Structure 1
Amino acid sequence: MASSSQASRAHPAHPNLAFRRLRGSRSAGEFATAVRRAAREIGEQVSCDARYIGRVESGEIRCPNYAYERVFLHMFPGLTLTDLGFTAREDVRGRGRRAAPDAPEARTPATPFPPCRPFDDGRPDSDSDSDEESDVLRRAFMTSGSVTVAAASLGLGLASGSGSVPAQRRVGEAEVGAVEEAVRRIRLLDDRHGADGLYRRAAQPLRAAYALLDAGTWSRRSTADRLHAGAGELAISVGWLAHDSGRLDDARSHYAEALATARVAGDPGLEAHAFCNTSFLARDAGRYREAVRTAQAGRRAARQVASPRLLSLLALREAGGWAGLGDRAACEQSLARAHAYFEQGASPHDPEWMSFFAEPEREALQAQCWAALGDFRRAAHHARRAAALQDHRFTRNLALYRAELAADLARAGAPDEAAAAGEQVLALLGDVRSSRIRTMLADTARVLAPHRRAEGVAAFLDHHATATRRVSRA
């Protein structure tokens, strides 16, 4: 990845005067509030603030991500992105022009994280299941080489394969920005394709980021804070890839690393995130008491963040722990708290990583609670809502919610509906690689095996067996 200075020389920022005119007499903060309100009107969730508006108007953001694009076009019907002063997306991403074989840029070595759209409101989406950018990013990430290559992509200049940096290396905007962008790249790829195959590659930039923390020096406290936060978020992202691909011990280690980083930096937001993911992991590992305790610890840290949605998610994590312990009353109390916090709406203080937490995810987490308590019909109701509400562009979550629906229906005594939901998951698994989802589907197949005569069940079982053999040979 080019440094910030290199990028600015290649694409100098030009003020977006058209967008500034559309803001009119409103302050940047007032306009950001209008953007968030418009997002809610169409079911989007963006963490827009005055800083984001300033970045757009200065030309730093040449093209918004898809969520912001939908919001802006909703706010100004009849206008295009170009009318709003943005650069065409294909020009930002480099699709519009191909370098000739002997052009200087054609000889630039590929990096694991090629340029893509700015990512300012959380996880991005894409136009379709065959979106070209997702495929390019996935191939670039999957074919990345050694730690040296990963470090180069962060602009860290590490010694070959050593995972170390020169003593007292000066850390600036370029290095910190590259660490933050690595987090966004990983989340983008996970959204589209799931964790399997990404985990080992993602560990490379993580090692580079922590090597920089160990050996770097910085002139400003804000730079140090951002690097600690970026490294911690990177550890959580890599931990999630480990979690979703079934490497639970590795995930636990990465989350602990992030928690330690948060404590050293005095970063309550990062601490809450680490506890949130640790609680989720503990629940999946059957350590339900730990799931409750870590969710409660996350809630204490989150009180300093001023984000009701973060408190809502942590309450749902706690509810999952209580459900695993079979304590229905405590689970329902946590669910009630989660609903109350969620209904307070989005906040400018919502962390960037929480953009996934909208109505579909809330429904899915409730489904998991009721399933753990043995109320599978109620669980299926929430899982069906999660799948129905989920934007189809978020392929991995769509597959996950449908897999949960299939599992709940199978145990609720609706084998035909379960088989139909299972078939929908199989149709998505060509694009999504997640051990967690495959394990859920395998469990559903085992539950449905005695019901082969029910409509659609035999076909599903045969299709699942074929898909399983295909994965085993890969």
Structure 2
Amino acid sequence: MASSTVTSSSTSPRPPRPNLVFRRLRGQRSPGEFAAAVRRAARDIGEQVSCDARYIGRVEAGEIRCPNYAYERVFLHMFPGRTLTDLGFAPRSTVRGRGARTTEGALPTRTTSPMSAPHETHGAHEPYDTYDTHDPHENDDQNNEESDVQRRAFMSGGTATVAAVSLGPLGLAFSGGGVAAAAAPSVRRAGEAEAGALEEAVRKIRLLDDRHGADGLYRRAAAPLRSAYALLDAGATRRATAERLHTGAGELAISVGWLAHDSGRFEDARSHYAEALATARVAGDPALEAHAFCNTSFLARDAGRPREAVRAAQAAQYAARPLGSARLMSLLSLREAGGWAGLADRTGCEQALARAQALYGRGPCDADPEWMSFYGDAELAGLEAQCWSTLGDWPRAAHQARRAARLQDPHFTRNIALYTAELADDLARAGHPDEAAAAGLRVLDLLDEVQSSRVQTMLAGTARVLLPHRRASGVSDFLERHGAMPRSA
């Protein structure tokens, strides 16, 4: 492929070299047909791209010397066993930074918010730089769909030093000599200290979420996530370390995705989960893949896409089956049950619930993933309550929600608030306004230390149901306190 030499003159651009390899791979399919195949492959791995015939034409014309990371994962999925260079692209190392400066030493001026990212390339500091010769006057609407995923990855850090500096907003700095070692100018690849810090970041975020909920954590968790992908970009000193980094980055993306999910930012959560799934596929990590699909299913259910919830849960079970964890398979069956409930398929829901309970009854084992520490008797009851609630069986839902709140470990403050909010709503809809109000007041007491838009949304629904019952015992007190509660931004 072309030399890595890049002239600093903006008046002497290098002419693109056609990508004949990619053209041969397209075969007899038209650019539009091939673009459709790319989009299907993206959906297969949970990626979000809006490839069209024009994009394929630009690749074949050599205008896109190296695709962005989203497209890279899709192409490598379509042509397993091949590298980017096997597909006719230039190595990323030879094109990184192209377009980063409009004049020598000067960064380009952004004409849009980094949140909108309407163009494919904004310079080397973009997370998924395409390194192409894109005309800035073109309207690349196809990339709007990808921008959420793109801005999460932050692959531009380049060295472990960047990650070492920015793994700090949640108190996630390296311990002991790790800080100095990671910050040393000579460090170019990640080692055990960096992998350990990443794993600790995941644990810390999960611990804080268990106690306080997601709303106050989501923004703060963005920097560790950027750092995680900077570590991946830096590379690792050993293969075992690289595997830990991939798993850690994927788990962190899921954790941050959950913070977005629980705080009502569904599109952000979808992007984070897609990033985790792509990381799992690239790394060949079935445990991470199962986790990503598990959360994707839960999000789809909450977002009103029950059929997607069923499919994602089934995909998670397929990925998890070789892992040997009955508890994991139980949780994934519950995710599937939630999807069937959303489809009003009581039979499918009951079958999945029965399977979940049978698998749970086999007990814990060494193969159970660390992230499943939340999954116990209380969560089993809580998720079953949500299924019955979705099916409109309020008495049965209230029974399970009450069990969940009673069984929950006090450490999981957010879950206690969640289960009790579920109980309040089920009781209100079952025709027990006084009991519903009492449960709602208990939730309001917990909201001093728990920040969860999900819980607040549930309480708002309960308040609407209770409005006609204002004269019932305790209802007016609940409605007044709920009405005075500050709303999250």
**TM-score of the two chains, using structure 1 as the length reference:** 0.65
1:259 to 268, 277, 282: 277
1:301 to 307, 310, 319: 319
Q: Are 2:227 and 1:211 aligned?
A: no
Per-residue deviation, 1:217: 3.0
Q: Counterpart of 2:210 in structure 1: which amino acid?
A: D
SS at match of 1:349: coil
Residues 177-233 of structure 1 deviation map (CA, whole Å, 9 limit, x = unaligned) = 000000011011101100012101101010011011012232x22111111000000
Residues 66-116 of structure 1 deviation map (CA, whole Å, 9 limit, x = unaligned) = xxxxxxxxxxxxxxxxxxxxxxxxxxxxxxxxxxxxxxxxxxxxxxxxxxx
SS at match of 1:286: coil
Partner Cα separation in structure 2 for residue 334 and residue 154 of structure 1: 42
Q: Are 2:403 and 1:385 aligned?
A: yes
CA pair 209-383 structure 1, distance change in 2 beyond 3 A: same
Asked if the contact 1:154/1:205 (under 8 Å) is kept, the reply is: no
Q: Are 2:210 and 1:191 aligned?
A: yes
Q: Are 2:317 and 1:317 aligned?
A: no
Partner Cα separation in structure 2 for residue 350 and residue 388 of structure 1: 24
SS at match of 2:198: helix
Partner of 2:166: 150
How many residue pairs get aligned? The number is 320
Partner of 1:448: 466
Per-residue deviation, 1:307: 0.3
Asked if the contact 1:228/1:262 (under 8 Å) is kept, the reply is: yes
Per-residue deviation, 1:157: 8.0
Per-residue deviation, 1:168: 8.1
Q: Counterpart of 2:455 in structure 1: which amino acid?
A: I
Alignment of structure 1 residues 59-70 onto 2, 5 Å = none
RMSD: 2.1
Asked if the contact 1:405/1:418 (under 8 Å) is kept, the reply is: yes
Asked if the contact 2:293/2:315 (under 8 Å) is kept, the reply is: yes
Asked if the contact 1:154/1:175 (under 8 Å) is kept, the reply is: no
Partner Cα separation in structure 2 for residue 317 and residue 172 of structure 1: 36
Partner of 2:192: 173
Partner Cα separation in structure 2 for residue 394 and residue 235 of structure 1: 21
Per-residue deviation, 1:154: 4.6
Partner Cα separation in structure 1 for residue 367 and residue 179 of structure 2: 34
Alignment of structure 1 residues 260-409 onto 2, 5 Å = 260-409=278-427
Q: Counterpart of 2:166 in structure 1: which amino acid?
A: A
SS at match of 2:167: helix
Q: Counterpart of 2:367 in structure 1: which amino acid?
A: H
Computing the radius of gyration over CA atoms, which structure comes out larger, 1 or 2?
2
Q: Counterpart of 1:290 in structure 2: which amino acid?
A: E
Partner Cα separation in structure 1 for residue 426 and residue 163 of structure 2: 43
1:419 to 431, 437, 462: 437
Please identify which structure carries the higher helix content.
Answer: 1
SS at match of 1:260: helix
Partner Cα separation in structure 1 for residue 199 and residue 475 of structure 2: 46
**TM-score of the two chains, using structure 2 as the length reference:** 0.63
Partner of 1:458: 476
Asked if the contact 2:210/2:411 (under 8 Å) is kept, the reply is: no
Per-residue deviation, 1:392: 2.1
Partner Cα separation in structure 1 for residue 186 and residue 229 of structure 2: 14
Partner of 2:74: none
Per-residue deviation, 1:284: 0.1
Partner Cα separation in structure 2 for residue 365 and residue 402 of structure 1: 13
Q: Counterpart of 2:167 in structure 1: which amino acid?
A: A
Q: Counterpart of 2:444 in structure 1: which amino acid?
A: L
SS at match of 1:170: coil
Partner of 1:82: none
Q: Counterpart of 2:393 in structure 1: which amino acid?
A: D
Per-residue deviation, 1:394: 1.6
Per-residue deviation, 1:406: 0.3
Partner Cα separation in structure 2 for residue 250 and residue 381 of structure 1: 33
Q: Counterpart of 2:215 in structure 1: which amino acid?
A: D
Asked if the contact 1:318/1:331 (under 8 Å) is kept, the reply is: yes
Partner Cα separation in structure 1 for residue 308 and residue 185 of structure 2: 40
Runs of 4+ off more than 4 Å:
146-149, 152-158, 164-168
Per-residue deviation, 1:147: 8.3
Alignment of structure 1 residues 97-112 onto 2, 5 Å = none
SS at match of 2:220: helix
SS at match of 1:431: coil
Asked if the contact 2:190/2:234 (under 8 Å) is kept, the reply is: no
Partner Cα separation in structure 1 for residue 165 and residue 221 of structure 2: 12
Partner of 1:121: none
Partner of 2:245: 227
Partner Cα separation in structure 1 for residue 487 and residue 348 of structure 2: 40
CA pair 167-268 structure 1, distance change in 2 beyond 3 A: farther
Q: Counterpart of 1:200 in structure 2: which amino acid?
A: R
Partner of 1:130: none
Gap runs ≥5 in structure 1:
1-145, 159-163
